[in-house]
Structure 1
């Protein structure tokens, strides 16, 4: 990775982190829909990112979010699971022509159909583990399912809107 790309992804992380911690933390729709926008930082890392560095980046991202949310590792565990599944899911969704080098997997670069099948299952996996850990021991599964579905929808729609407004093709944010 070149120094320019490293700086770009560092700034990208900083923006997502600050927005998550200072704006999204207090934004809850109808008491059930939470928005974990920082997940898009992990989804938009380069396709060429190897599994171990990706899991380390995800772990550090989750731990930093956990520090501000007081969630004791719930975000870290969810992010590591997302990173663990991400590369396998990318290879399962490889288009017929393959992927272009050094192109982030964003909506503008890949198209809506591919991006929907790429991001929605990964966001669902992240949210499902997060809310399952949060719900552990209460045996109330209907509220868990409602929280997961509404939060996935809220996160995905807000992520799409942000990409349409702020992202450039080939570079990301």
Structure 2
């Protein structure tokens, strides 16, 4: 249990540092930007209580808001992502897995499940983020293009990160 907490704290600092120092300055013509800090919320343990999940998501978004000089936009998007995560886990996971404290990773959950989990979560996060950021329907097609292209860019970065730490599912429990 202590090891999981330490891993998640280290993951938080590394991903927020990468977001603020590197990915804040990387973009594609102000249309596509990557937000890999949301990987923190995706990789929190499955059996985490919902209240703690919402608090951690809010604090993660608030930390990024402090560096981006935005007014709670990332915090609102992260809380929405936490709500999506709860719904997705409730719909797709079995009862035994829901009660475990496993990290939902590519090696543990499988490619199909993990890719849909990451893609739809990123899409929802970016939808809330960009719609709250613009708060106007004046350039709606530009906003939709930003949502879609940023989602693809973020999913590609998240998949690269998850492939870097990919470990196959342990076969010990199946014996």
Compute the TM-score of the two structures, normalised by the length of structure 1: 0.90
Deviations 1:82-129 (A, max 9, x none): 11221111111125x852833211112111101122121111111000
Find the aligned partners of 2:47 and 2:57 in 1 and give their Cα distance: 15
Q: What residue is the counterpart of 2:29 in the other structure? A: 30
Q: What residue is the counterpart of 1:18 in the other structure? A: 17
Q: What residue is the counterpart of 1:51 in the other structure? A: 50
Find the aligned partners of 1:149 and 1:168 in 2 and give their Cα distance: 29
Deviations 1:61-94 (A, max 9, x none): 0011000001110000000111122111111112
Number of matched pairs: 168
Deviation at 1:169, TM superposition (A): 4.9
Q: What residue is the counterpart of 1:161 in the other structure? A: 160
**1:13-162 alignment, distance < 5 Å:** 13-94=12-93, 99=97, 101-162=100-161
Deviation at 1:135, TM superposition (A): 1.4
Find the aligned partners of 2:119 and 2:57 in 1 and give their Cα distance: 18
Find the aligned partners of 1:86 and 1:47 in 2 and give their Cα distance: 9
Q: What residue is the counterpart of 2:172 in the other structure? A: none
Find the aligned partners of 2:80 and 2:42 in 1 and give their Cα distance: 12
* Structure 2 gap ranges (5+): 170-175
Where 1:8 maps in the other structure, the secondary structure is helix
Find the aligned partners of 1:169 and 1:27 in 2 and give their Cα distance: 32
Deviation at 1:31, TM superposition (A): 2.4
Q: 8 Å contact 2:106–2:166 — kept in the other structure?
A: no
Find the aligned partners of 1:111 and 1:168 in 2 and give their Cα distance: 11
* Structure 1 gap ranges (5+): none
